[in-house]
Amino acid sequence: MITKETKEAISRLVPESHILYDEPLKKHTTFQVGGNSDCLIFVEKEKELKDLINYLDGESIPRYLIGNGSNLLVSDDGFRGVILETRRLFSDIKVEGETIIAKAGALMSKIGSVALENELTGFEFAAGIPGTIGGGVVMNAGAYGGELKDVIVSVRVITRDGKSEEISCEDMGFGYRTSVVRKNEYIVTEVKLKLSKGNREEIKATMEDLKERRKSKQPLEYPSAGSTFKRPEGYFAGKLIEDAGLRGYSVGGAMVSEKHCGFVINKGDASASDIDKLIKDVSKRVKDSFGVTLEPEVIRLGKF
C-alpha cells in the first residue's frame, strides 16, 4: 500500500510524469500477463535510482527493478510495492573506439544496431536476445555459442547498501545464467563492452542469419519469456519436454510451443496462474519420465 506520505516523498525524487500508480504489469512484461503494481517509476538517472532505493529500503517498502520484463512472470495479484523500470529512459549508449558503454536499460537489440553502425563485431550473438543489457548481465545471457562474459570489460552496480561500484569482468563471477550481481542482489547501472573492428557487411550478414534462425525455430509470434528452462547438464530442455510427450500441452491460455518445446507461450488469453501451473506440470512430467530436474529461467514476482 502506497500512502500519501510515500507518494509525496517519491515525487520529490523523480518527476511526476515518470510515476504511475496502480499500473498493470502485463504492459511491462514480454509474457503480457500479471496484475498491477502499486507504483511504477521510470528511472532516468543513476542518482534517481540510488535515491529511490535508499528511500524505499529505509521505509521497508518492497521494490523490484525491471528492464524489458523479458524473463519475468508476474502474479495475477500483481506486486505490492514499487517497480523501478529502466528501459525507457535509462538507456543511453556511447561508442568510444572499439568500446561501447551502455546504461542498464539499453536493449541488446539496440546495442547490436549501434555496433553494426560503427562496424564493431563480437556482439552479433546477443543482438536478438529480447532484453536489456542490465538484465542480460544479471544472468550472463547468451545464445549461439556466445555469452555476455565474452565481451564485457566491467559492470557498474549499486550494492545492497546503496554504494556505487565498478566490477571488472574477472570479478563478476560469471557462470551459466548467473553472476555476482544475481547472487548479491546488486543493481546494474552501466556496462562497458569491448568489441573489435569488423566488416560491416559481414556483421550484418551474421546478424541476419541469426535472426532467420531464431524466426524459423522460435515462436516469436507469441508472447513468451524466451527459453523457459535452464539447460540441464548433459541434456537439452526442449528435447526432454518433447520426449515426454508435451509438445502443444496446454493449461488455460498457456501452451508448450509446438515450434520449440523449450518455450512456454501465451496463446493470447493466458493468466500468470496458467503459465505457472504449466511450468510445474512440465517439470514434474520430465522428472517422472527421465529423472532430470528442469530449473526455470523465468523469475516469479508476487504471490503464486
- Chain centroid to CA 38: 21
DSSP 29-94: STT----EEEEEEE--SHHHHHHHHHHHHHTT--EEEESS-TTEEE-TT-EEEEEEE-TTTS--EE
Q: Looking at 227, 257, 271, 283, which residue is catalytic?
A: 227
Dihedral pair phi/psi, residue 40, rounded to 5°:
-130, 130
Q: What is the DSSP letter of 188?
A: E
Q: Looking at 177, 179, 257, 271, which residue is catalytic?
A: 177
Determine the Cα angle at 125 with ends 119 and 127, to 5°.
70
Residue in the block written with cell 523501478: 84
Alpha helices for 178-291 (secondary structure H): 180-184, 200-217, 237-243, 272-290
Q: Which residues pair with 168 in a beta bridge?
A: 154
Q: What CA–CA distances, in Å, run from 55 to 49, 62, 84?
A: 10, 11, 13
Concerning whether 227 is annotated as a catalytic residue, the answer is yes
- Pairing relation of β-strands 196-197 and 120-121? antiparallel
Catalytic amino acids? 177, 227, 297
